Structure 1
Amino acid sequence: MMISKLQKTTRSVGAMRHMHRSGAEGLPASAQHAAVERPAPEETVTASFGRFISGLKARHLTPTVLRRSKRMMLDSLGVGLLGSTTDVFRLALRHCQEMYAPDDISSVYGRSGTKLSPTLAAFVNGVAVHSMDFDDTWHPATHPSGAVLPALLAVSDMMPQNRKPSGLDLLLAFNVGIEIQGRLMRFSNGASNIPKKFHPPSVVGPMGGAAACAHLLSLDPSQCSHALAIAASLAGAPMANAATQSKPLHIGNASRLGMEAALLASRGLEASPLILDSVPGVAGFNAFYEDYMPLPLYLAPDEGHSFLIEDQDIAFKRFPAHLGMHWVVDAAASVHKLIVGVDSGTVSASQVKDILLRVPRSKYINRPFPECEHQARHSFQFNACSALLDGEVTVQSFTAGAITRPELAALLSLVRVEHPEDNPANFDLMYGEVQVTLDGGDVLRGRCDTFYGHWRNPLTNESLRKKFRSNAGAVLPREKVEGLVETVEALDELPDCTPLLLKLQ
C-alpha cells in the first residue's frame, strides 16, 4: 500500500514538474518576470518567499555560489557516509526498518541494497550527517546542508527514471534551501549568538528542507508558501538534548519533516499565509525569535541574485566536534608545540601544574568531565586537553579508549575556565585562549581568533577533498570515493543525477 501511494505521488510530482516548466518557460521573458520576479503590490513576506522558491532559475547562480555549494555538498556527503558507521545511525536505521513496512525507493548512506521510503531515508541520512557533529556550520549558527541534501536525494530517488532531476536542478534546489535558512536567521539579532533555548537546525532546517523540496518538485508560489507554513508547525527541539544521542535526530527530522511539508503542500494542504510575517496578534515564525524583523525576499530581475552564501562562506570542521571547540583546539595545539618542540610527542600530565581556558560563556559546551563521546564533542575542557596531550584532535579522539585515558583525566582536573567580557558567544566574534603553567613555573599561552576552516579562513579544495576522502573511504571503495569527487565537481553539467545517487551506496 505504501509503495503504491508513493508511486502515485511520484506520478503527480512528475506531472507538476512538466506542467510548471512548459507553462512558465513558454512565456515571453517579460511575462516570466512579471509572473515570477516582479514584487506584487503590498505582497506579504510569506508570499515573497514562495515566489522566490518557485522562481529561482539557473541564471541566478553565480560561479561563486556554484563553487561554494558544491563544496558544501561534498563535505556533507562525506560526513554522512562516515556517520553511517555510528551507533546512533544504526539505532535510527534499525528503528525505521522494524517499525515501518520496507519500501524499496530511496537509498541509505553507505548501505548497498538497503532502501527505505523517501521520508525515512531523508531522516536516517540526516541523522548520519550530524551523528558526529562533523557537518558544516554557518553564521548565524546553524548546520545548513544536513537539513537539505538528504531530503533532495530522497526526493530524487522517488522520481521516475525519465524525470530524474539534472545536477543543475539539484544545485538550484540546494541553494534555495540554504538561502531560506540564512534569510530567516538574519531576521533576528539574537540568532547571531550561540543558542540557549532551541537548536537552530531544528527550526530553520525544516524550513530550508521544505523550500528545497518544493523547488525541486516545481510547486507553484502559493504551494511553496504553504510548504514553509506547514514546516513551521513541525519545527523545534530544545537545547537540553545537545550532547546526547538525540541531537543528531534534530537534523534527521529537519530533513524528513521539510520533505513531508513540501509533499503535503503538493497535495493541496494549506497553512497560514502569514507564517513569516510579523503581524500583531499573530504568532508565526516570530514565536521562535523575540526580535524577529522579517523583510520580503525578491529575485533579481536578470542574473546574479545576491545570495548570502556569496557574501559569507561556510565553516568546514577539521575534526568531529561542536564548532566552538575548534578555537580552543588550535590554541592548545600551539601550546603543545611549545612544550614538545619540533619533535612530535605526547605531553605528560606531570609536566603541567595549571590550565586556564578563556572562552565564551555557553553552558552547554562548558563540560568539565564529559562521560561519553557526545558530551566530549561539546566540551571546551575535553578538546583543549586532548589537543594539549596529542597536538591535535581527530575522529579517534572521541573513542571510548581515548576519552577514558588516565593522562587526559589528570589534565581535566587542572582546568580552570574564565569568560572574558570581550569574548562573546558568537561564532563571528569569539576567540579561544589557552594558558598553561608548567610544573617548573613557566607560563605558555596560545590563542586562536580564526581557526583553519572558518569562513574567514576557509579550507582549500585540497584540504576539503582530503577530509572527504578520509570520511567516505571508511565506508566506500576507493573508486566510488573518487567517482563522487568527480561527480560533485561536474554536477552542474550532469543531465541526470542518477550517477550521484548510485555512488552513495
Structure 2
Amino acid sequence: MTYSQELAAFVCTLTTEKIPEGTRARARQLMTDTLGVGLAGTRHPNFKNAMAAVSVIPGTRGDHPVIGCSTRFLATYAVLANGVACHVLDFDDTHTASIVHGSAIFLPLVLALGEELGRSGKDVQTAFVAGWEVAARVGIASGNSFHNRGFHSTAIAGIFGATAAAGKLLDLTPEQMTHAFGLAGSQASGITEFLTNSSSSKGYHVGWAARSAMEIGYLARAGATGPFSVFEGTNGLLATHGLPDRIDPPQLAADLGARWETERVSIKPYPCCHFAHGAIDCAIALRQDGIVATDVQNIHAIIDEVAAGFVCDPIEAKWVPTSAYGAKFSLPYLVASGLIDGEVSMASFDDSSIARGDLLALASRVSSEHAEKGTTGFPKYFPGHLVVTLTDGRKVEKRVPINRGNPDAPLSDMEVAGKFFRNVDGLLSKRRAKMIVDKIGALESLQDLSDLSRELVM
C-alpha cells in the first residue's frame, strides 16, 4: 500500500466520533481565529486587488459569499478570494513542525464547499480536521526541506490537506481519494522568491491551493486519475520538492488516528512572520526588564538557518524595510518594535510606523547568526535568543524557548476571542461578532451553514 492509499483510507473513514473532543475544540478555535484574521484581511490592498481581478473575469459571479463583502462568486472563486483574505496579513495560524499555514486554506474551502453541498457543521469540522492531519504530515515528512529548496511549505503541503478536505465533503471513495492526491501532486506549487522584493504572490498561495483542491475533488469523483506513488515515487513530491538527506516518508502515515496534529497548531499573537515571534517575545520581555532603546549599543539574534532566510537575510535589506509587507519579514524591525513599543500589532505596519526614525535607528543595530543545528527546538518551536550589548558595556541575554501561542505556551480562549474581536472592530458590530463566535462554538449542532454564512457578509 502506498502512502497516498494509507492517507486516503484514513480520510474516507474519518468521522466526528473518531476525533477526540480536544481536537474538535481546537479545530473550532482555529476556525474562529482564522475568520477574524480573514475579515481583517479584507482591508488589505492585496485582497482588494484580488477582488478587482476576479470580479472582471467572465463567469466568476455566483452564489457564494466573500467574507466582509457584498460580492458573491462561484464557489471556486469565493475560496480563492477568501483564502487571500485569511493569509494576506500573515496573522493566520501555523503548524510549526511542518511550517504550514493551513487554516487559511481549509476554512474558506470547507465553508464554501460545505454550503454548496448542503453539509452539516459536523461534516465541515471533520473535513477541516482531515485537511490539517494530512497537510501537517506532508510537511513533517519533508523534514522541513521544502523551504530549503525554495518552496513555500504552505503551498506544497497545503494542496494535499485541501484535497483531503474537499474529497471528504465530496464523499470520495478511497480509490478516488488516492487518485485525488495523485492529481494534487501536479498542483503542488509555490516558491519563496517573493522574499526578494516583498511582493504579494505569497498571499495568493493559499487561495490557489483551496481553489485547485475543490476542482481536483470533482475531477477525481468523475474518474480522473493520478499516480498512487505521488509521495514516494522516483519523481514524486518528496524527491522533486524535498532534500534526500532530510525526507522521512514514513511520517506521512505515522500514528494516523492516534496523534492529532490539529492540536499542534500555533495561533499567532503578532501579525507578522511566525519565525520572528520568539525574538519579539524576547524584545518585549527586555522592555519589561527596564531595557530602553537609548541604552542599547547593539542587539544580536541567534536564529535557525531556515528562519533566518525569511527574516534576517540579507540583513542590510532587513534594516530598512520599504513596505509594510517587508516589515513583517524583518527581524530587526520587529525586534525594534517589541523593545520600543512593547508590542507588535496591526498598527506597527502603518506607513507612518515603518518610517519612524526611532524604530529604524534601533533596527540598524540588530545583527544575527545561525544557531547550531538541533539546539533550538526549531521547528517544533520558533524560539527567541537575543544578546544585547548596552552602551555601558554590559551584556544582557534573553531566551524564550517556546514562542507565545505555541500549543506548549498557548493563548487562552479569552485571548483568542479577544484577538477575533480586535480584528473585526470597525467591520462588525459587537453583537454580530459575538454571534459568529457563538455559531462556530456550536458548529457541531448546525444542520447547515447558511446562518453562519449570512453573518460573514456585508
What's the TM-score once normalised by structure 1's chain length? Answer: 0.83
Are the counterparts in 1 of residues 376 and 401 from structure 2 also a CA contact under 8 Å? no
Q: Which residue is equivalent to 1:10?
A: none
Are the counterparts in 1 of residues 143 and 248 from structure 2 also a CA contact under 8 Å? no
**AA in 2 matched with 1:290:** L
Tell me how far apart the structure 2 counterparts of residues 196 and 339 of structure 1 sit (CA, whole Å). Answer: 41
Among residues 123, 126, 132, which one is paired with 1:169 in the alignment? 123
Residue 308 of structure 1: CA displacement? 2.5
Are the counterparts in 2 of residues 136 and 315 from structure 1 also a CA contact under 8 Å? yes
- Alignment of 1:318 with 2:269, yes or no, is yes
* Higher Rg of the two aligned structures: 1
Residue 61 of structure 1: CA displacement? 1.1
Residue 298 of structure 1: CA displacement? 9.3
Are the counterparts in 1 of residues 147 and 153 from structure 2 also a CA contact under 8 Å? no
Among residues 339, 350, 354, which one is paired with 1:388 in the alignment? 339
Where do residues 49-88 of structure 1 align in structure 2 (5 Å cutoff)?
49-88=7-46
Tell me how far apart the structure 2 counterparts of residues 56 and 127 of structure 1 sit (CA, whole Å). Answer: 28
Residue 70 of structure 1: CA displacement? 0.8
**AA in 2 matched with 1:400:** D
Q: Which residue is equivalent to 1:435?
A: 387
Tell me how far apart the structure 2 counterparts of residues 68 and 185 of structure 1 sit (CA, whole Å). Answer: 20
Q: Which residue is equivalent to 1:219?
A: 172
Are the counterparts in 2 of residues 184 and 204 from structure 1 also a CA contact under 8 Å? yes
373 and 458 in structure 1: CA distance in 2 versus 1, 3 angstrom threshold: same
Are the counterparts in 1 of residues 377 and 401 from structure 2 also a CA contact under 8 Å? no
Where do residues 118-197 of structure 1 align in structure 2 (5 Å cutoff)?
118-138=75-95, 139-159=97-117, 164-191=118-145, 195=148, 197=150
**AA in 1 matched with 2:159:** P
Secondary structure of the equivalent of 1:244?
coil
Among residues 66, 70, 73, which one is paired with 1:116 in the alignment? 73
442 and 180 in structure 1: CA distance in 2 versus 1, 3 angstrom threshold: same
Q: Which residue is equivalent to 2:315?
A: none
Tell me how far apart the structure 2 counterparts of residues 190 and 427 of structure 1 sit (CA, whole Å). Answer: 8
Secondary structure of the equivalent of 2:62?
coil
- Alignment of 1:358 with 2:302, yes or no, is yes
- Alignment of 1:261 with 2:207, yes or no, is no
Where do residues 397-412 of structure 1 align in structure 2 (5 Å cutoff)?
397-412=348-363
Secondary structure of the equivalent of 1:433?
strand
Are the counterparts in 2 of residues 48 and 298 from structure 1 also a CA contact under 8 Å? no
- Structure 1 spans left out of the alignment, 5+ residues: 1-42, 341-346
- Alignment of 1:246 with 2:192, yes or no, is no
Are the counterparts in 1 of residues 65 and 72 from structure 2 also a CA contact under 8 Å? yes
**AA in 1 matched with 2:402:** T
Q: Which residue is equivalent to 1:330?
A: 281
Deviations 1:53-102 (A, max 9, x none): 22212221111111111111111111111111100000011100012334
Q: Which residue is equivalent to 1:275?
A: 230
Are the counterparts in 2 of residues 210 and 262 from structure 1 also a CA contact under 8 Å? yes
Residue 334 of structure 1: CA displacement? 1.5
Are the counterparts in 1 of residues 149 and 242 from structure 2 also a CA contact under 8 Å? no
Are the counterparts in 2 of residues 194 and 425 from structure 1 also a CA contact under 8 Å? no
Secondary structure of the equivalent of 2:105?
coil
Among residues 174, 183, 187, which one is paired with 1:234 in the alignment? 187
**AA in 1 matched with 2:265:** I
**AA in 1 matched with 2:55:** Q
Deviations 1:140-198 (A, max 9, x none): 21111112111111213323xxxx1111011111111111112222323344x965510
Deviations 1:409-449 (A, max 9, x none): 21122222233326559232553222333334444332211
Deviations 1:427-476 (A, max 9, x none): 32553222333334444332211122112111111111111111123422
Are the counterparts in 1 of residues 335 and 363 from structure 2 also a CA contact under 8 Å? no
Tell me how far apart the structure 2 counterparts of residues 63 and 239 of structure 1 sit (CA, whole Å). Answer: 36
Q: Which residue is equivalent to 2:402?
A: 450
Count residues with an aligned counterpart: 443
Deviations 1:272-331 (A, max 9, x none): 23223x24x44355422234443474998xxxx324326x52111111111111111111
Residue 489 of structure 1: CA displacement? 0.8
Among residues 470, 476, 480, which one is paired with 2:432 in the alignment? 480
Secondary structure of the equivalent of 2:447?
coil
Tell me how far apart the structure 1 counterparts of residues 359 and 31 of structure 2 sit (CA, whole Å). Answer: 35
Are the counterparts in 2 of residues 82 and 474 from structure 1 also a CA contact under 8 Å? no
Where do residues 488-499 of structure 1 align in structure 2 (5 Å cutoff)?
488-499=440-451
RMSD over aligned CA atoms reads: 2.2
Residue 108 of structure 1: CA displacement? 0.4
Secondary structure of the equivalent of 1:148?
helix
Q: Which residue is equivalent to 1:290?
A: 243
Q: Which moved more, 1:424-433 or 1:404-413?
A: 424-433
Among residues 371, 379, 394, which one is paired with 1:420 in the alignment? 371
Secondary structure of the equivalent of 2:367?
strand
Are the counterparts in 2 of residues 338 and 444 from structure 1 also a CA contact under 8 Å? no
44 and 102 in structure 1: CA distance in 2 versus 1, 3 angstrom threshold: closer
Tell me how far apart the structure 2 counterparts of residues 373 and 336 of structure 1 sit (CA, whole Å). Answer: 23
Q: Which residue is equivalent to 1:504?
A: 456
- Structure 2 spans left out of the alignment, 5+ residues: 313-317
**AA in 1 matched with 2:17:** R
Tell me how far apart the structure 2 counterparts of residues 250 and 100 of structure 1 sit (CA, whole Å). Answer: 22
Tell me how far apart the structure 2 counterparts of residues 425 and 246 of structure 1 sit (CA, whole Å). Answer: 30
Tell me how far apart the structure 2 counterparts of residues 200 and 223 of structure 1 sit (CA, whole Å). Answer: 25
Tell me how far apart the structure 1 counterparts of residues 223 and 301 of structure 2 sit (CA, whole Å). Answer: 54
Are the counterparts in 2 of residues 194 and 427 from structure 1 also a CA contact under 8 Å? no
**AA in 1 matched with 2:310:** Y
Residue 104 of structure 1: CA displacement? 2.2
Are the counterparts in 2 of residues 318 and 453 from structure 1 also a CA contact under 8 Å? yes
Identity of aligned residues (%): 28
Residue 225 of structure 1: CA displacement? 1.4
Secondary structure of the equivalent of 1:356?
strand
**AA in 2 matched with 1:483:** M
Are the counterparts in 1 of residues 109 and 162 from structure 2 also a CA contact under 8 Å? yes
Tell me how far apart the structure 1 counterparts of residues 8 and 403 of structure 2 sit (CA, whole Å). Answer: 37
**AA in 2 matched with 1:477:** S
Are the counterparts in 2 of residues 68 and 313 from structure 1 also a CA contact under 8 Å? no
Q: Which moved more, 1:331-340 or 1:490-499?
A: 331-340
Are the counterparts in 2 of residues 232 and 285 from structure 1 also a CA contact under 8 Å? no
